[in-house]
Amino acid sequence: MIQRYTLKQMGKIWEDENKYDKWLQIEKAVALSQARLGIIPEKAAEDINSKASFDINEILKIEEETNHDVIAFLTNVGSYIGESSKYLHYGLTSSDIGDTALSLQIIDAINIIEFKVNKLTGILKEQAVNYKDVVMVGRTHGIHAEPTTFGLKFAVWAFEMKRNLQRILNAKESISFGKISGAVGTYANTPPEVEKLVCEKLGLKSSPASTQILQRDRHAEVISALAICGGTLEKIALEVRNLQRTDVKEVEEPFTKGQKGSSAMPHKKNPIICERICGLARVLRGNAVVAFEDMALWHERDISHSSAERVIFPDSFIILDYLLEKTIFVAGNIKVMPKNMERNLMKYGGIIFSQRVLLELISKGILREEAYALVQNAALKAWEEEGSFKENLLKEEKITKLISESEIENLFDVNYHLKYVDTIINRLQKI
């Protein structure tokens, strides 16, 4: 991922330095386990653990000739060990090291994501309470529907982020496995006891069955969970973008001191952070497709997945980390304009109360079809002429014969629609 979107802590996890460090950690654990089981001499395990090191530049030079990154790594590491280097990587295959290390990297990355998901969920819960009584129009198809509150939007997002956390934790559980089972996964040259000991040292579980690799359904689950979480962040950002439009202007993403919106038009305050969130979420979803494609490999394995994973795993975690950081900033510092919300709410003289009027007419004995036609006629006239729905109702004799002016006034009480919002907000305390 380009530096523009890479935050330091997450970026370090996916740097070559950390990857090779994980590889070396695994090789050392293997040597100690093999020595304990009498497979290699104890002195060899001691030498590997005390002398082994690596130099990234040297590894890259060697790889230019070998065209194999693990062999280049082992060649470089072996140069530090001496005679005992012959027992380095004893009975193993490249994927024993690469796949087990990848699991460790993913777990470290998920820990960062987990922290930020919890932080964002906390902010959303807090904002749900802050804005639970800030009334605004609810929209379906982008068209005014019925009243809601801005706090309820935050509550919906908070519950969804809680589900995202559970999906991510489930994926973490699925990926917390290592494999030290050798070529094609039969343990022919390294017994299951080695895998068990190594995985215990690393805080992983032993894969119950593997080919030459860990099966990629585990990895697809991880990327899928990240992509779904990104989808939620995009949904939040898209809502802010829509509500920031000039002709709506109910909220704005933060606009910091000295910020400029356009090189040409000084008046512009564009929702650029939210637009960036929406754009990068698309990349996440694309990476999920690649992860699904990586599940089906030839026989016990090929390496068509390897090149793709070098891109999609660092990029996906770096992207989601960045998106969470930006969504935390937007959600925690959003500018809310209640007066504009109130203005938009009552546009066209209360057409958002049409269902209440419809139901009241039906309760007075009119057939639904007739009641619907009467209410729709009054509403569409207000819509097309930019008039008042309430005034149109009061001019319709068939309606006023059944519903008095004071009763119509009561039907336009916004609190009726919001009487149970607190019930939803209170459910947040349980998450």
Q: Just list the catalytic residues.
A: 141, 262
User: Residue 59: CA atoms inside 13 Å, Cβ hemisphere, count?
Assistant: 19
Among the listed residues 344, 352, 335, the one whose alpha carbon sits nearest the alpha carbon of residue 413: 352
* 81 contacts 88 by C-beta, under 8 angstroms: yes
Is there a contact between 353 and 389 (Cβ–Cβ < 8 Å)?
Answer: yes
Question: In angstroms, rounded to a whole number, what is the distance separating the alpha carbons of residues 164 and 321?
Answer: 14
Question: Is 70 within 8 Å of 98 (Cβ atoms)?
Answer: yes
What is the β-pairing status of strands 205-206 and 251-252? unpaired
Strand, helix or coil at 75? Answer: helix
Residue 371 structure tokens: 């009641």
CA neighbor of 337 nearest in space, from 135, 179, 51: 135
Structure tokens at 13: 């996890």
Neighbours of 415 (CB within 10 A): 9
Backbone angles phi, psi at 45, to 5 degrees: -65, -40
Q: Which H, E and C letters describe 166-203, residue by residue?
A: HHHHHHHHHHCEECCCCHHHCCCCCCHHHHHHHHHHHC
Q: Specify the DSSP element, H or E, that contains 336.
A: strand 335-336
Interatomic CA distance for residues 186 and 172, integer angstroms: 26
